[in-house]
Structure 1
Amino acid sequence: MRFRLLASAAALAGLGLAAPAGAADLSGRYPAPYVQPVAAFTWTGFYVGANAGYGWGSSSFSDPGGFIGGLQAGYNFQFGSPFVLGVETDIQYSGMSAGSYSLDYFGTVRARLGYSFDRVLVYGTGGFAYGQGSADFFGLSSTATQTGWTLGAGAEVGFDRNWSAKLEYLYVDLGSATFPTIVGPVSTGLDANILRAGVNYRF
């Protein structure tokens, strides 16, 4: 009798030990679902966008100022680090005018070198600038192409993989151009400050 009691107790104890192990095996049959990691944000790629702002400056005869707006396109390359190198070109309508001189349009071709804080990019930029000025001296109107250089800085914020917004300042020196007048040729240059905001769509 005593032997049967001991055998029954041993059997119950064995079942008790086996039950948790079986439960552990059962739970192990259903691993946690796989979650694909989110791709790291990068500035690398082509982009196009639009901008608008205000320009002011000085020529030999007046201090023109007014609305500016246009389009830009470019390419960024991020080096697997915070550093970003890019190139950008833009073309701008210009309403900058005063007195006898006005700037009809201008554009730039620039390099950009930046440092990114994930989705925030701060950068410096510089390169070639060109434009068309108009002059009206004593009733004689004429236009001339002007070329020079530009330097500036800006900041850009990426909202998602495609869209970003930027704020940018440029100093533009368009050199000197010669305009015909009834009293002979007159030369004037333009130094301008450009402050503009824009949006980009990145591919």
Structure 2
Amino acid sequence: MKILIATASLAIAATIAATSPAAAQEAFQGPYAGIEAGWNKNKIDRAETDIGRADVRTSQDSATAGIFAGYNQKVSDRIVLSAEAGFSMGFDDAVTRTTGSTLASIDPEYNFDLGVRAGYLVNDKTLIYARGGYQNLRASVRINDATASRYNKDTFDGWSVGGGVERMLTERVSARLEYRYSDLGGSDTKFERHQVLAGVAYHF
């Protein structure tokens, strides 16, 4: 329901922007903001947390939705560099494993990211790009075993890489499709995330 409401809101805004008079806007130059939604897969082998080691060893597919904002800078006729920040949440994305009386669960609550994009304009309205950056995820952690039942909040952070294509639909509205891989693990944690995201942005 949240995804539908957010998508409908941006669609209305995009329609208003497309039909309202506006000054000429150079494509992929300047600030922008938008929403995105798509598929998310959390894959966790093990996680060293504040309440102990969680041996999850499974994965979970889910939906995700979020917002993003950034700034495009054309450094040549065909090259665009961008800085971008985003915030997102998943839906039914807890990764849980139960073996006998032992339970290990990591339930992501929200995620934010800071990244950069490097893109190439294949024509005046279409940008293909690669991206990379920093990811930070807040999650609820639960571990039940023979010794005790423990619950706490924890933070996982790491890096992400990906790429996609973005096309201007009007002078100020664009749509994009992107794949992103994130590694939220460390020496004692193996936590991977795969995402396919579709987004719509308004360029100011």
TM-score, scaled to structure 1:
0.72
Q: Deviation string for 1:30-84 (max 9, x for gaps)?
A: xxxxxxxx96842111001001111113112121221111100000011241110
Q: Which of structures 1 and 2 has the larger relative contact order (alpha carbons within 8 angstroms, sep 6+)?
A: 2
Is 1:97 equivalent to 2:98 in the alignment?
no
Unaligned runs of 5+ in 1: 1-37, 178-186
For 1:71 and 1:110, the matched residues in 2 are separated by 14
Q: Deviation string for 1:122-171 (max 9, x for gaps)?
A: 00000111111222111422210111000000110101211001111110
Is 1:126 equivalent to 2:127 in the alignment?
no
Q: Between Structure 1 and Structure 2, how many residues are aligned? A: 157
Is 1:72 equivalent to 2:68 in the alignment?
yes
Q: Structure 1: which 4+ aligned runs deviate by more than 3 Å?
A: 38-41
For 1:202 and 1:189, the matched residues in 2 are separated by 37
RMSD: 1.9
For 2:25 and 2:196, the matched residues in 1 are separated by 31
For 2:113 and 2:151, the matched residues in 1 are separated by 25
Letter aligned with residue 139 of structure 2: G
Is 1:107 equivalent to 2:112 in the alignment?
yes
Name the larger-Rg structure: 1
Unaligned runs of 5+ in 2: 1-22, 46-55, 97-104
Contact 1:54 1:194 in 2 (8 A): yes
TM-score, scaled to structure 2:
0.72
Specify the SS of the correspondent of 1:81: coil
Distance 1:102 1:65, change over 3 A: farther
Between structures 1 and 2, the one with greater strand share: 2
Instruction: Specify the alignment match of 1:150 in structure 2.
Output: 160
Q: Which range moved further: 126-135 or 193-202?
A: 126-135
Distance 1:176 1:65, change over 3 A: farther
Q: Deviation string for 1:4-51 (max 9, x for gaps)?
A: xxxxxxxxxxxxxxxxxxxxxxxxxxxxxxxxxx96842111001001
